[in-house]
Amino acid sequence: MLDSPNLALLQAYFSPWPHLSQAQQALLAENAAQVRYRKGTNLHSRDSECLGLILLKSGALRTYLLSEDGREITLYRMGPGEACVLSASCVISAITFDVHIDAEEDTEIFLVSASVFASLAKENIHVECWSYRTATERFSDVIWAMQQMLFRRMDQRLAVFLLDERARTGQDQLRITHEQAARYIGSAREVVTRMLRYFSEEGIVALSRGGIRILDRERLRAIAGE
Amino acid sequence: MLDSPNLALLQAYFSPWPHLSQAQQALLAENAAQVRYRKGTNLHSRDSECLGLILLKSGALRTYLLSEDGREITLYRMGPGEACVLSASCVISAITFDVHIDAEEDTEIFLVSASVFASLAKENIHVECWSYRTATERFSDVIWAMQQMLFRRMDQRLAVFLLDERARTGQDQLRITHEQAARYIGSAREVVTRMLRYFSEEGIVALSRGGIRILDRERLRAIAGE
Q: Are residues B123 and B178 in the same domain?
A: no
| Residues making up chain A, counted from first to last | 226
Domain with residue B12: its CATH number is: 2.60.120.10
Nearest beta carbon to residue A151 from set B71, B125, B140: B71
Tell me the chain B residues in contact with residue A143 when contact means C-beta distances shorter than 8 Å.
65, 97, 99, 142
3-state secondary structure chain A: CCCHHHHHHHHHHCCCHHHCCHHHHHHHHHHEEEEEECCCCEEECCCCCCCCEEEEEECCEEEEEECCCCCEEEEEEECCCCEECHHHHHHCCCCCCCCEEEECCCEEEEEECHHHHHHHHHHCHHHHHHHHHHHHHHHHHHHHHHHHHHHCCHHHHHHHHHHHHHHHHCCCEECCCHHHHHHHHCCCHHHHHHHHHHHHHCCCEEEECCEEEECCHHHHHHHHCC
Instruction: Give the structural domain span for B201.
Output: 152-224
For residues A85 and A94, give the distance between their C-alpha atoms in angstroms, rounded to a whole number. 12
> How many whole angstroms separate alpha carbon B108 and alpha carbon B2?
14
> Å from B139 to nearest chain A CA?
6
- Average pLDDT of the residues in A39-63: 91
- Is A150 in Cβ contact with B67 (below 8 Å)? yes
Q: Which of B44, B12, B42, B7 is nearest to B26 (CA)?
A: B7
pLDDT given for residue A81 in this prediction: 95
Span B98-115, pLDDT tens digits: 899 999 999 999 999 999
> Among the residues of B4-124, which ranges form H helices?
4-13, 22-31, 114-123
Q: What is the pLDDT of residue A22?
A: 96
| Per-residue model confidence (pLDDT) at position A109 | 97
- In terms of average pLDDT, the best of A25-34, A203-212, B39-48, B182-191 is A25-34
Q: Are residues A128 and A161 in the same domain?
A: no
Both B217 and B171 in one domain: the answer is yes
pLDDT for A224? 86
d(CA A199, CA B185): 34
Confidence of residue B95 (pLDDT cuts 50, 70, 90): confident
**pLDDT for the residue B155:** 83
> What per-residue confidence (pLDDT) applies to B105?
93
Cα distances from A40 to residues A6, A57, A81, A83, A126, in angstroms, run: 25, 17, 20, 19, 34
Any idea what the CATH number is for the domain that residue A178 is in? Answer: 1.10.10.10
pLDDT value, residue B20? 97
> Residue B69: what pLDDT?
62
Q: Please report the ipTM that was assigned to this predicted complex.
A: 0.73
A204 within 8 A of A219, measured Cβ to Cβ: yes
CA B47 to chain centre: 19
Domain boundary among B105, B123, B150: B150
- Provide the domain count of chain B: 2
Given a cut of 90, whether residue B183 has pLDDT beyond it is no
Please tell me whether residues A170 and A206 are part of one structural domain. Answer: yes
Cβ distance A96 to B135 less than 8 Å, yes or no, reads no
When pLDDT is averaged across residues B135-145 and rounded to a whole number, the result is: 90
Q: Which residues contact A168 (CB under 8 A, 6 or more apart)?
A: none
CA–CA separation, B49 vs B88, rounded Å?
Answer: 9
Distance CA(B221)–CA(B226), nearest Å, equals: 5
- pLDDT (0 to 100) of residue A194: 79
Specify burial of residue B4 (Cβ count, 10 A radius: 0-12, 13-18, 19+): exposed
In tens, the pLDDT along A83-112 reads: 999 999 888 888 888 899 999 999 999 999
Asked if residue A86 and residue A12 are part of one domain, the reply reads yes
Whether residue A160 sits in one domain with residue A93: no
Which residue, B150, B173, B195, sits at the end of a domain? Answer: B150
The Cα A145–Cα A186 span in angstroms is: 9
Q: Does A192 score more than 90 pLDDT?
A: no
Q: What is the pLDDT at residue A198?
A: 81
* Amino acid letter for position B40: G
State which amino acid sits at residue B177: T
Q: Which residue has the higher pLDDT, B110 or B145?
A: B110
A152-184 confidence digits (pLDDT tens): 777 888 999 999 999 888 999 999 988 888 888
By residue count, chain B amounts to: 226
A136 and A194, same domain (yes or no)? no
Domain's final residue, options A135, A150, A165: A150
pLDDT confidence of residue A68: 65
pLDDT tier, B22 (very low <50, low <70, confident <90, very high otherwise): very high
Please enumerate residues of A whose Cβ is less than 8 A from a Cβ of B: 65, 67-69, 71, 73, 92, 94-97, 99, 125-126, 128-129, 132-133, 135-140, 142-144, 146-147, 149-151, 186
Same domain, B132 and B179: no
Same domain, B83 and B186: no
End-to-end CA separation in angstroms for chain B: 48
Q: Considering chain A, what percentage of its residues have pLDDT values greater than 70?
A: 98
Give the per-residue pLDDT at B157: 85
Tell if the CB–CB gap between B136 and A73 is shorter than 8 Å. no
Instruction: Tell me, yes or no, whether B105 and B175 share the same domain.
Output: no
Backbone angles phi, psi at B207, to 5 degrees: -105, 140
Instruction: Summarize the confidence of residues A40-53 as an average pLDDT.
Output: 87
Q: What average pLDDT score do residues A124-145 get?
A: 93
Q: What residues contact B170, with CB distance under 8 A and at least 6 apart?
A: none
Same domain, B11 and B121: yes
Element (H, E) at B102: strand B100-103
The yes-or-no verdict on residue A134 having pLDDT over 80 is yes
- Residue B215 — φ and ψ, nearest 5°? -105, -40
pLDDT for residue A53 is more than 90: yes
- Predicted confidence band at B144 (pLDDT cuts at 50, 70, 90)? confident
- Contact indicator for B111, B32 with CB cutoff of 8 Å: yes
Q: Where residue A69 falls among pLDDT bands split at 50, 70, 90? A: low
Amino acid at A128: E
Over residues B38-89, the pLDDT tens digits come to 999 999 987 777 899 999 999 999 999 887 666 778 899 899 999 999 999 8
Same domain, B36 and B81: yes
By Cβ distance, the residue of A97, A125, A128 closest to B140 is A97
Rounded mean pLDDT, B191-199:
83
